[in-house]
Amino acid sequence: MQPPAVVIGHDRINLGRDVTVHAGSFISVAEEEGGKRYDPRLVIGDRVTLGFGAVIACNGSVEIGEDVLTADRVFIGDTYHEYRDVTRPIASQGLTDPRPVSIGPGAFLGIGSVILPGVKLGEGAYVGAGAVVTSDVPAHTVVAGNPARVIRHWDGDAWVVPAGT
């Protein structure tokens, strides 16, 4: 871990071997937020590299497989701030219920990409720079954009580009 980096809830993190967390990263595995209790677990596999300024917000379950590489300023979160009551500040409305996030082995997250609650990235998935991933990404698939969409995928023999791309 390269300072300065902040880790909250270190006792709720299962950390693999040879993991690198670059400077400016913020990892929060919170058991309580706004009076609500959680049972969070963050799992980071062997040989994972988190780029400069990475943010992981975990109140439920975030799993990062082996050999995952992230560029700088990546955000991974399994919940977000609630916004139902327009008469109250958002910060006082608490969090939504967490939804598990899973990042498959060998995946890559491009600079400034965002992985939202409930997303599962398959093995070897590639997330382009600035992409906002709102739904699952199959194994060996390249996504980009906001919201992220499939650019190409590996069919076992060759790269396939979807029609209209």
pLDDT digits (tens, 9 = 90+) for 137-146: 999 999 999 9
Domains in the chain, ordered, with CATH? 6-160 (2.160.10.10)
Instruction: Quote the distance between the C-alpha of residue 28 and its chain's center.
Output: 12
**36 touches 82 (CB < 8 A):** no
pLDDT of residue 69: 98
Residue 116: pLDDT over 90: yes
Question: Rg for the chain (alpha carbons), in Å?
Answer: 16
pLDDT of residue 57: 97
Give the angle subtended at the CA of 104 by the CAs of 125 and 134, to the nearest 5°: 65
pLDDT of residue 164: 79
What are the backbone angles phi and psi of residue 2, rounded to the nearest 5°? -100, 120
Residue 43: pLDDT over 90: yes
Query: What single string gives the DSSP state of each residue in 53-84?
Result: T-EEEESSEEEE-TT-EE-TT-EEES--B---
User: What does the alpha-carbon distance between residue 18 and residue 12 come to, in Å, rounded to a whole number?
Assistant: 18
* Residues annotated as part of the active site: 81
pLDDT of residue 33: 87
Average pLDDT over residues 40-54: 98
Average pLDDT over residues 57-65: 98
